[in-house]
Chain A
């Protein structure tokens, strides 16, 4: 009797501790990984495509647009600064939940010399959402080989690192920690706001390759074999990016390996003009990047996604499921989650070029009234062209300050250069244009801003 009492006591303590740690974990953990994966875990039907890779994929492919324009179901499992090794382990873990028809792996930086290591803080983004288990343990052992047990623990039990955030808990953060409606509404992808022009880079001959980390080939081969064992078709992809010459040579090496492994490559960096400088038939080098080094902005990602969707449909024969009742939740998510959040994000921008870029989405129509002082530069001109007939530009003598529906405060001038904080344009400073963006279907105004030159 006594021993049972003792055992019960130990079990009660263990249960309470587990419960307490779970609660503490939920309250202190950074939610981005969990939020990214909520929809992925919730979906019961199999995906057509899953995307793997680094931040290039993360910001370069928009599953919701792929759905809305082609009826293809997909999820973006790319991770910030994800190494090839990380993509391999994300594949292994994700296949436990879904077996897509096609797994697409971006080839950026596959031959980085420090494979498979990556910054631990970025590893959390790709791994925290997956529960601890044998696969996760093996992943940590592999990705952090030679690192301290404490660092490995950080990934296996994220509570070991996040508990230090107890001092950041607020009633609001506590509420959000248990709110499942706070999630990645882009089905894993991240939209980037801003416009930057990358430098010109010479194109490298496709036959010139470079050596790289020895483990990289093995990861690529394993990625392919794991997919094939699971009955998943595998495909490589190159998202447009201003690749350095070394990057291009590394990419060339992957292309050759893909040929050897009979893996299809979707190269979005192919250039019709065959010019000496790097270019892409898919995106515009002047308007579609968010930073000078690598990532596509929202409209660049939109273009890449449209092109990719067409190829995926052609190569793999995906049927359009938009009218399939079983997939009605995807239409609902697009209408009620994706679009409102994108509109809200657009309204939150203060840079004219970013607003112009975001408004280029086919879901919107834009009206610009400008004074003669409005003098658009080349990038603005190109962004305006993206709108086609959905942009109406009218020149007037002066902007009416009294009839603005949204903000009349801006932080940036037309060149996207930061001015000083919160310029009140109702005073001495006169606006040169007013931009109004509406949803095409509903006519709802989502942005109404004025900008100074």
Chain B
């Protein structure tokens, strides 16, 4: 069962209805039952695998949590929900490392090691065994040794990478004594199998999710409306944009050897939109569905294509996975508090593993490695870039994400990641502080970003950062602010090109295809043949192509508003009832008519299901 299926459209309302009707004590039980039903509707046998992973990690968690002093009353829990708890985690982790390792500690470490080996073995068996066998056979063949290794040919359980990472994250958190172990098996099983997230994330964190399952959830019309709008926006992204873009992309990637080079460039650019809308669409449908059930999920995307560097991109793309790798792989490897060679090695390892996480193909590894390489090169060239920019009169901090609000874009970055620095005016800081309390109350309606809590005054203050950093709020536009804006747009553009080039490896059927496509672009670009009639022959007719373009502009506008702290969802919900209802109904009808669904299309599954 996937979100864009009839089954889900029947399943979800039934789950919601019963969820809010049954006594509160049974809400978790009902959710657990629904989650297993949801998962097993795809393949009942793999329900046992899910249960097995749950039991193993539950028991391991109990052992790891014995004698722990950690409690759920973590004052910084909210910071973790937004995935920006870097300093806290690293500090605690360092404390653990620096402690004398007692015998008890050694036992715990052995249990953690064993449990992680067990669960990751399951992942490796299903995901990497055939890849490893193929490559081993190839290596042996090159060495002149003829060995016939049998392929397992197993079907990979849907969402296995997601729920295993979630379980592993929980175990490490318990081991680090950042949270106590969860004693209630039902609650823990729900944490692992929660149906909105089990197939493609966001990869939840125990500190933010498990406490939510302890509290009874009442039906809240406002929260349900907000969740419904999120789901609707997700369906728009998936059905209207992603699946329509997929038609052109699939056509070009399947027939690239017969097409001009520019079609590959066009298709790869459209693929950047497709994968964003596909995965972002899934994430916010999941977030919306969870919101309707009274559960908050972490934000998974934050206007990634407005990133000003590759590093910035990875803070905004698939945040739940990036932060998982950061907390459970990058920091243990030493993070950035080590020699620059070691730091770059760590970055490369993390991104290669990230590539491997996405799939057992060399093209994914190259994709991951390429992203790591971008960051290493970016780091090495930083002094040169800074010098270059200073020659043109820019501030020395202009390339820093943390110190320059004009560069960081979203207000949330001020409040959660970046320390409030002198670059933020005292006035802006005071507004943030004043509203922090309101933010605490309302954040749960705002799992997908935006700042409903901002007062009009604060919003105006924030918008002083203006168009990508161009300060226009004071009624005058200086040459400097204009230059900043241009610089930022250039950086956004360059980042997009780099990321999009890497997407080519991600999307191609294999490494060989990716390289052949690059050759095709180099030697058969044929720009002279570029015309609309040629574009319309790539699988999308004129009307469908222009609909795609218009919808992409809508997405761009929405991300732009979000990037600058606005919230279109809240804007809609605040409208008078009739206006709001007409907008919502029109949006539903729009998705139903223009969405790629039904039997006339080969409805696509979500791309991230295969990971």
A positions within 8 Å CB-CB of B = 5-6, 8-9, 12-13, 16-17, 20-21, 24, 28, 120, 149-151, 153-154, 159-164, 166-167
Residue B581 contacts which of A12, A28, A149 (CB distance < 8 angstroms)?
Answer: A12
User: Does the CB pair A9–B581 fall under 8 Å?
Assistant: yes
Given A9-B581, A16-B582, answer yes or no on A24-B599 (Cβ-Cβ < 8 Å): no
Cα distance A167–B545 in the bound complex, in angstroms: 11
Known: A167-B543, A167-B544. A13 touches B588 (CB 8 A): yes
The CA of A20 and the CA of B588, in the complex, are separated in Å by 9
Please tell me if the beta carbons of B6 and A150 are within 8 angstroms of each other in the complex: yes
Contacts of A162 in B (CB 8 A): 600
Q: In the bound complex, how far is the Cα of B221 from the Cα of A5, in angstroms?
A: 11
Q: Which of B7, B221, B585, B599 has a CB less than 8 Å from the CB of A12?
A: B585
A402 to chain B minimum Cβ distance, whole angstroms, is 44
Return 7 A-B CB contacts under 8 Å, by A number: A159-B592, A163-B592, A164-B598, A164-B600, A164-B601, A167-B541, A167-B544
Answer yes or no: B584 CB below 8 A from chain A CBs: yes
B598 touches A154 (CB 8 A): yes
- The docked-state distance in angstroms from the alpha carbon of A162 to that of B592 is 11
Which A residue's beta carbon lies closest to that of B577? A9
Q: Across the interface, do A24 and B585 meet the contact criterion of CB distance under 8 Å?
A: no
Measured CB to CB, the nearest residue on chain A to B582 is A16
Q: Contact: A5 with B589, CB < 8 Å?
A: no
Given contact pairs A163-B598, A164-B598, A13 touches B585 in the complex (Cβ within 8 A): yes
* C-alpha spacing A166/B598, complex, angstroms: 14
| B581 contact set on A, CB distance < 8 A | 9, 12-13, 16
Tell me, in angstroms, the Cα distance from A28 to B600 when the chains sit together. 13
Q: B580-611 interface mask toward A, CB cutoff 8 Å, 1 = contact, 0 = none?
A: 11101110110011111111110100000000
Judge whether A13 and B599 touch: CB under 8 Å: no
Residues of A within 8 A of B592 (CB): 17, 20-21, 24, 159, 163
Nearest-neighbor residue (CB-CB) of B580 within chain A: A9
Tell me which residues across on chain B come within 8 A of A12, comparing CB atoms. 577-578, 581, 585
| Chain A nearest CB, measured from B510 CB (Å) | 30
Question: Which B residues are CB-close (under 8 A) to A13?
Answer: 581, 584-585, 588
Q: Which of B545-593 contact A (CB under 8 A)?
A: 577-578, 580-582, 584-586, 588-589, 592-593
Q: How far is the CB of B408 from chain A (nearest CB, A)?
A: 38
Distance A160 CA – B588 CA, assembled complex (angstroms):
14
A16 to B592, CA, bound (A): 13
| Chain A to chain B: the 6 pairs with minimum beta-carbon distance, closest first | A20-B589, A16-B585, A160-B598, A167-B543, A154-B599, A164-B600
B interface vs A, CB < 8 Å? 6-7, 221, 541, 543-544, 577-578, 580-582, 584-586, 588-589, 592-601, 603
Contact partners of A21 in chain B: CB under 8 A: 589, 592
> Contact: B578 with A24, CB < 8 Å?
no
Q: How far is the CA of A21 from the CA of B6 in the complex (A)?
A: 16
CB distance from B57 to the nearest CB of A (A): 35
Query: What is the minimal beta-carbon distance from B4 to any residue of chain A, in angstroms?
Result: 11
CA distance A6 to B581 in the complex (A): 11
Residue contact A17 to B599, C-beta cutoff 8 Å: no
11 A-B pairs besides A9-B581, A13-B581, A164-B601 with CB distance below 8 A are: A9-B577, A9-B580, A17-B592, A20-B588, A20-B592, A24-B593, A120-B599, A150-B603, A153-B598, A153-B599, A163-B598
Name the residue in B578, B585, B595, B599 with the highest tally of chain A Cβ atoms < 10 Å from its Cβ. B599
Residue of A nearest to B599 (CB): A154
A9 to B228, CA, bound (A): 14
B589 x A149 contact (CB < 8 A): no
Collect the chain B residues with CB atoms within 8 Å of residue A149's CB: 6-7
The answer to whether B584 and A6 have CB atoms under 8 Å apart is: no
A6–B219 alpha-carbon span in the complex (Å): 13
A151–B603 Cα gap in the complex (Å)? 12
| A12 nearest in chain B by CB position | B581
Q: Are A24 and B601 CB-contacts (below 8 A) given A5-B577, A16-B581, A150-B6? A: no
Contact of A17 with B588 at beta-carbon distance under 8 Å, contacts A5-B577, A167-B543 already known: yes
Question: How far in angstroms is the closest Cβ of chain A from B67?
Answer: 50
Please give me the residue from chain A that is nearest to B546 by CB atom: A167
A150-B582 contact in complex given A24-B592, A166-B594, A167-B543, C-beta closer than 8 Å: no
Question: With A9-B581, A17-B585, A149-B6 as given contacts, are A166 and B599 in contact (CB-CB < 8 Å)?
Answer: no
Chain B hits for A161, CB < 8 A: 598-600
Question: Which of B7, B544, B582, B592 is packed against the most chain A CB atoms within 10 Å?
Answer: B592
Using Cβ atoms and an 8 Å threshold, which residues of chain A touch B541? 167
Cα distance A407–B588 in the bound complex, in angstroms: 51
Query: A299 CA to B600 CA in the complex, in Å?
Result: 37
When distances are taken between beta carbons in the complex, the residues of chain B under 8 Å from A167 are 541, 543-544
B585 surroundings in chain A (CB, below 8 A): 12-13, 16-17, 20
Q: How far is the CB of B539 from chain A (nearest CB, A)?
A: 13
Residues of chain A within 8 A (CB-CB) of B586 are 16, 20
**Measured between alpha carbons, how far is A21 from B593 in the docked complex, in Å?**
8
Chain A residues lying within 8 Å of B599, measured Cβ to Cβ, are 120, 150-151, 153-154, 160-161
CA A30 – CA B460 in complex, angstroms?
A: 52
Q: Which of A8, A24, A28, A167 has the most CB of B within 10 A?
A: A167
Of chain B, the residue at the smallest CB distance from A151 is B599
* Given A161-B598, A163-B598, A167-B544: A153 in contact with B6 (beta carbons within 8 A): yes
Give complex CA distance A17, B580 in Å.
Answer: 13
Chain B nearest CB, measured from A140 CB (Å): 12
Which residues of B lie under 8 Å from residue A153 when comparing CB positions? 6, 598-599
Chain A residues whose C-beta falls within 8 Å of the C-beta of B7 in the assembled complex: 149
> Min CB distance, A357 to chain B, in Å?
37
Query: In the complex, A273 Cα to B44 Cα: how many Å?
Result: 66
Shortest CB-to-CB span from A371 to chain B, Å, is 48
When distances are taken between beta carbons in the complex, the residues of chain B under 8 Å from A150 are 6, 598-599, 603
Nearest B residue to A120 via CB reads: B599
Question: Hey, which chain A residues are within 8 Å of B588, CB to CB?
Answer: 13, 17, 20
Task: Specify the chain A residue showing the minimal Cβ separation from B590.
Answer: A20
Rounded to whole angstroms, the CA-CA distance of A24 and B591 in the bound complex is 11
Residue of A nearest to B596 (CB): A164
Closest CB-CB distance, B578 to chain A, in whole Å? 7
With contacts A5-B577, A13-B588, A150-B598 known, is A163 near B582, CB below 8 A? no
A27–chain B nearest beta-carbon distance, Å: 9
How distant is the Cα of A322 from the Cα of B544 in the complex, in angstroms?
A: 53
Q: How far is the CB of B17 from chain A (nearest CB, A)?
A: 13
| A16→B590 CA distance, assembly (Å) | 12
Of A28, A120, A154, which contacts B593 at CB under 8 A?
A: A28
Question: Is the beta-carbon distance between B589 and A24 smaller than 8 angstroms?
Answer: yes
Q: How far is the CA of A163 from the CA of B594 in the complex (A)?
A: 7
- Closest A residue to B597 using CB positions: A160
Alpha-carbon distance between A166 and B601 when the two chains are bound, in angstroms:
13
Give A150 to B586 CA distance when docked, in angstroms. Answer: 24
A residues near B593, Cβ cutoff 8 Å: 20, 24, 28, 163, 166
CA distance A175 to B599 in the complex (A): 26
Among B6, B7, B603, find the residue whose CB has the most chain A CB atoms closer than 10 A. B6
A5 and B576 alpha carbons, distance in the complex (Å): 12
Complex partner residue of A17 from B589, B594, B600, CB under 8 angstroms:
B589
Which residues from A are CB-within-8-Å of B6? 149-150, 153
CB distance from A67 to the nearest CB of B (A): 38
Which residue of chain B lies nearest to A167 when distances are taken between CB atoms in the complex? B543
Q: Which residues of chain B are near A159, meaning CB under 8 Å?
A: 592
Question: In the complex, A21→B585 CA distance in Å?
Answer: 10
Contact partners of A151 in chain B: CB under 8 A: 599
Output the least CB separation between A121 and chain B (Å): 10
